[in-house]
Structure 1
Amino acid sequence: MNIAVSAQSLESARGAPPVPRPTSPAHVIRDDEEAIRVAHALAKTFREGASERDSTNRRPYAELDAFSQSGLWSINVPKAFGGPEVSYKTLAQVVAIVSAADPSIGQISQNHLGIVAAIRTVSDPEQQALLFGEVLKGIRFGNAFSEIGTPRATDFKTHFVDDGDHVIVRGKKFYSTGALLAHLVPIVALDGEGRAWYAIADRRAPGLIVIDDWSAFGQRTTASGTVIIDEVRVPKTHLVPAWKGYEHPRSDGAVFQIIQAAVDAGIAREAIDDTVAFVRTKTRPWVDSGQDRASDDPYTIQAIGELTIRLHAAEAILDRAGLALDEAVANPSAETVAAAQLAVAESKVLTTEIAVLASSKLFELAGTRSTLAESNLDRHWRNARTHTLHDPVRWKYAIIGNHALNGVNPPFHAWS
């Protein structure tokens, strides 16, 4: 009996093939000003195909190569190791600029930049030189952190055992943003003492299977699906002690978080820009307004004003959080790290709320025509609603309030 097997099911069994490594070194950004300039140039290109990629679920292979080869994936590599070490204010602006054009591409960079920050915090100089050298060449880190089916997000079943110069890793991950398109995949795995490490595996390693099964209605092209780790060997040179980043006051969690906030800021800005463009060119004025143009409707004007103010407030707090992070990275202490965590939490609240509000308000202000599939404007709401679920904003309010009222510093983990 012949049994037909689809190409898609075969790929799911084997996993998606790894992407090629860069054939030439990546550019190295000189300073903050160049980083912003390059981000705007890339965003202009990324924006052109963003709606089509969302509609067809097409992965951004060429776009991601351009992004990482531009030098923007090494902007937080320390100067001592040949990197530009830009301000975290600039880094957040870069992510927001790119995310306005395509938030999936912006999000894919998040875990890479977070891992670079963690290596600075916890690795010894020899390991830093090795891994930062890879980043400066254009090598991309992915993400195999989160698991489903555990009691809490901080609980992990993935573990490793010693094997001489290597460790052998076993486990299964989900929400693995960037793994599909990465060259190296940091895996959060526990040692025999229950401590978490980043076991940075080669994407081509035997037993490392990345399945392209991400099916969320938003952030469609992040490919944040399943990673199976079946006896994967990782050299100890690539075993990074993640647990040290949370043993003492350090800013690792806040770095991961500020990039999430920057993605949402980008979504909000693009949603507002698209609302304005649609109202100006396609929306009809309401019959009772007495206006010839929808853009002269006083209620629409008021609503756009409110959205703009909320966006500017969110962006200002995001800048403030970046500067607080700079201080915490340069001079880590209980006080500086707590200040950075709190500033980042505030930015997470405001960027989340404006992203969801602006992407929903778009349809109210632009009218029924804006819901047509040909415009695909619902992608802004889908992206905002999906991405802002990363961690609950209600707990950000609690962290900020508990500090203001009771002087309690935020907890230390990757979501704070």
Structure 2
Amino acid sequence: MTVVTAERIATAGQAVRIAAELAEVFAAGAAERDFSRRLPHEELDQLSASGLLAITVPAEFGGADLPPSVVAEVVRILAAADPNIAQVPHSHFVYLNLLRLAGTRAQRRDYFGKVLAGARIANAQSERGGATVAEISTVLRLVDDASVGNGEREHVVPSQTDAGSAGIGARRFVVEGTKYYCTGSLFADVLAVLTRLDDPQGISGLKPGEYVAFVPALEPGVRIIDDWDALGQRTTGSGTVEFAGVVVGLEQLVSRTSAVNAPTGYGAFAQLLHAAIDAGIARGALEAAAEFVRTRSRPWFEAEVAHAADDPLVAQRFGELAVAVAAAESTLIVAGAAVDAAVRPGAVAAQAVAENAHSVASLEGDGAQASIAVATAKILADRAANEVSAAIFEVGGTRSAAAEHRLDHFWRNARTHTLHDPVRWKYQHIGRAVLHNRPPPLHGVI
């Protein structure tokens, strides 16, 4: 486990202040870390030690129970300094939310306790073999106790009689497969592995569907590969993870289906944090562009001014960019408030289904409203991050393109992170809500 002594954060103000302090430290080396691809192990230990990674732990388990809007602001502040570091805990917060919604009390006590002590959770979710990203081929296979001893990983499914006599609590499963784009896996203590259970006969005692297996990163059979080579977000540790006969118990499995296929705000929360990363990149790029123009750029001769910052056309462009960033930040605040209403402290998936069943077919429910608000914020943040990070060179002039200034990392990070889920589908869901009062789908990506 991560060897840190984590502080305890109690209030939103404290969380934002600590995030700002860390952001100042992280910003100093962000461009150079990106250029040399130096993984931020030390910086992530600082993040764990600060207590920020535990701010969503429910109060009953010793946490601050801070709402999604505060998490989004923390992520935005960190992303303005180093979006790589800001993206690493994205899955961490998403899977803590899954535990809150669908985990048993014992699971929540266990994993929330680990996080309060400084542990980090990373995702092992995406695959490449399916026709779309939504297809998951990593299947949970039931095994008997005799087949998992002495390093053997033989897949043996017990008979119906055996299953009935052994007791559900003794059930063990094996996970095998390969996952890609596993952000934060190189820094993780626990991997949240997305799997599928096909069990029509009910031998396992679980309902068929998608489950997240919480697997220790150092578990035998887990191989984390540092092969992430994207043009941006180069230090997020988003490599490949292989699982070869990894054995898990029921106590490690949490139903993703029950959280996603219900109006819980699960997807809206995850998307809110993605929007926060993009809004942070936009703000960081704007500040870097302004500093470069003030201190390094030469004015265009036709402007007849002594300093580039006094060129009226440059000032006009900065005004346009500033409006784009402000719009992204403002809609992020609105979206955060909407997700706060949808993700109520203490709520679990079953409660959300019961409370919102009447509104599933319309936009009445908080979850649907939150998804639409977040989709709006995501569109504007995507647009601002890409536009402002590219405009650095437009306003900075020829010398801004020199490699020594490392200004390209803003655009590369924006272009890479905004590929996560296409905003063209956000427009579709917003348009259908306006025209037909149709709520967005429940699939966890809006």
Select the residue among 171, 179, 182 that pairs with 1:173.
179
- Alignment equivalent of 2:414, drawn from 384, 387, 391: 384
1:211 aligns with 2:241: no
Separation in structure 2 between the aligned mates of residue 240 and residue 180 of structure 1, nearest angstrom: 23
Q: Please give the residue correspondences for 1:117-136 in structure 2 after superposition, counting only pairs within 5 Å.
A: 117-136=97-116
2:273 is equivalent to residue 259 of structure 1 = yes
For the residue of structure 2 that corresponds to 1:174, the secondary structure is strand
Letter in 2 for 1:113: F
User: Match for residue 96 of structure 1?
Assistant: 76
Q: Which residue in 1 is equivalent to 2:96?
A: 116
Residue 159 of structure 1 is matched in structure 2 by 139
The 3-state SS of whatever aligns with 1:162 is strand
Q: Which residue of 1 aligns with 2:369?
A: 339
Check whether the contact 2:261–2:443 (CA below 8 A) recurs between aligned residues.
Answer: no
Structure 1 residue 200 corresponds to structure 2 residue 214 = yes
Task: Give the corresponding residue for 1:282.
Answer: 296
Q: Is the 8 A contact 1:25 1:136 kept in 2?
A: no
CA contact (8 A) 2:2 2:120 kept: no
Matched ranges for 1:354-369 at <5 A: 354-369=384-399
In structure 2, distance between residues paired with 1:278 and 1:387: 24
Mapped partners of 2:109, 2:402: distance in 1: 52
The 3-state SS of whatever aligns with 1:276 is: helix
Aligned to 2:165: none
Normalization by structure 2: what TM-score?
Answer: 0.87
C-alpha displacement of 1:69: 1.6
Aligned mate of 2:284, from 270, 274, 279: 270
Partner of residue 145, structure 1: 125
Could you say what secondary structure the match of 2:173 adopts?
strand
What are the superposed Cα offsets for residues 24-55 of structure 1, whole Å, 9 maximum, x if unpaired? 54111110000000001111111111111101
1:318 paired to 2:332: yes
| Higher mean displacement: 122-131 or 90-99 | 122-131
Q: Give the secondary-structure state (helix, strand or coil) at the position aligned to 1:379.
A: helix
> Residue 203 of structure 2 aligns with which residue?
none
CA deviations over 1:358-400 (Å, ceiling 9, x no partner) = 0001100000101111011000000000000000011111111
Scaled by the length of structure 1, what TM-score is found?
0.93
- Residue equivalent to 2:188: 182
Encode CA deviations 1:175-210: one digit per residue, 9 max, x unaligned: 100111100001000112451111011101111111
Distance 1:31 1:281 in 2: 38
Query: Which residue in 1 is equivalent to 2:6?
Result: 26
User: Using the alignment, how far apart are the partners of 1:349 and 1:191 within structure 2?
Assistant: 34
The corresponding residue for 2:362 is: none
> Structure 1 residues 67, 378: closer, same or farther in 2, change over 3 A?
same
Paired residue secondary structure (1:91)? helix
Report if the CA contact (8 A) 1:103-1:267 is conserved.
Answer: yes
- Identity between Structure 1 and Structure 2 (%): 41
- Where do 1:212-251 residues align within 5 Å? 212-251=226-265
Match of 1:9 in 2: none
Q: Distance in 1 between matches of 2:172 and 2:115?
A: 21
Amino acid at match of 1:398: Q
Give the 3-state SS of the residue equivalent to 1:210 in structure 2.
Answer: strand
Aligned-pair RMSD on alpha carbons?
1.2
**2:32 aligns with one of 36, 48, 52:** 52
Query: Which residue of 2 is the match for residue 307 of structure 1?
Result: 321
- Determine which structure has more spread, i.e. the larger CA radius of gyration: 2
Equivalent residue for 1:373? 403
1:145/1:187 contact within 8 Å kept: yes
Give the counterpart of 2:47 among 67, 91, 108: 67
In structure 2, the gaps of 5 or more residues are 144-169, 200-207, 360-364
Listed one character per residue, the Cα deviations across residues 224-266 of structure 1 (whole Å, up to 9, x for unaligned) are 1111111111232121111111232111111111111111111
What secondary structure is seen at the aligned counterpart in 2 of 1:150? coil
4+ long deviations beyond 6 Å: none
* Deviation at residue 165 of structure 1 after TM alignment: 4.4
In the alignment, what sits opposite 2:205? Answer: none
Residue type at the aligned position of 2:13: E
After superposition, the C-alpha distances for 1:248-293 in whole angstroms (9 at most, x for unaligned) are: 2111111111111111111100100010001111111101111111
Alpha-carbon distance between aligned partners in 2 of 1:170 and 1:24, rounded to the nearest angstrom: 31
Q: Distance in 2 between matches of 1:211 and 1:223?
A: 9
Amino acid at match of 1:111: S
Moved more, 128-137 or 370-379: 128-137
Deviation at 1:122, TM superposition (A): 0.8
Instruction: Give the SS at the match of 2:214.
Output: strand
- Seen in structure 2, the aligned counterparts of structure 1 residues 269 and 24 have a Cα distance that, compared at 3 Å, is closer
Runs of 5+ consecutive residues of structure 1 not aligned to the other structure: 1-20
The CA distance in 1 between the partners of 2:172 and 2:238, in whole Å, is 27
**Range moving further from structure 2, 106-115 or 227-236:** 227-236
For the residues of structure 1 that align with 2:260 and 2:367, how far apart are their CA atoms? Answer: 11
Q: Distance in 1 between matches of 2:261 and 2:81?
A: 37
**Match in the other structure for 1:84:** 64
